[in-house]
Amino acid sequence: MNPILVVDDDAGIRELISDTLADEGYVVVSAPDGAAALVMLEGWQPSLILLDLLMPLMDGDEFLRRYRELPGVHVPVVVFSASGRNRPGRASAQVEADAFLAKPFDLDDLLGLVTRFAPMPASSGLPAP
């Protein structure tokens, strides 16, 4: 499974999400803004993108617009922001995201969305060599 890409300008949130997902067995790569994330996506594709909407340099809206313009298959994108608390459906529709998570979010809600869009491969049940 490819890593999950976390894009947020808040280092504390990036670390919290990365640590939480790593504890669940996921590999996580992070970027501090949309511009850095686009550079990372050259020649590489994650299994899921977790994207903050409000960031400097390139915000989530602009990142998502540019990402959707890239050729090839696009992975699911879950956006999160404090700005859309009252209208999560509208906020995710405006940026063509697959799901929206309002900040502050519950880690169980985050894990539920990650499991939905990037499920862990089933274990074979065999012991590791």
Residues in the chain: 129
pTM of the model as a whole: 0.85
Written as one string, the DSSP assignment of 26-37 is --EEEESSHHHH
- 3-state class (DSSP) for residue 97: coil
Question: CB under 8 Å to 32, separation ≥6 — which residues?
Answer: 7, 8, 9, 11, 14, 55
By CB neighbour count within 10 A (0-12 exposed, 13-18 middle, 19+ buried), where does 128 fall? Answer: exposed
Q: What is the pLDDT of residues 92-119, one digit of tens each?
A: 445 678 999 988 899 999 999 999 999 8
Instruction: Identify the band that residue 84 occupies on the pLDDT scale cut at 50, 70 and 90.
Output: low
Q: What is the pLDDT of residues 20-40, one digit of tens each?
A: 999 999 999 999 999 999 999
- 3-state class (DSSP) for residue 49: strand
Residue 57 zone, left/alpha/beta (φ > 0; ψ -120 to 50; rest): left
> Residue written as tokens 């803004």?
33
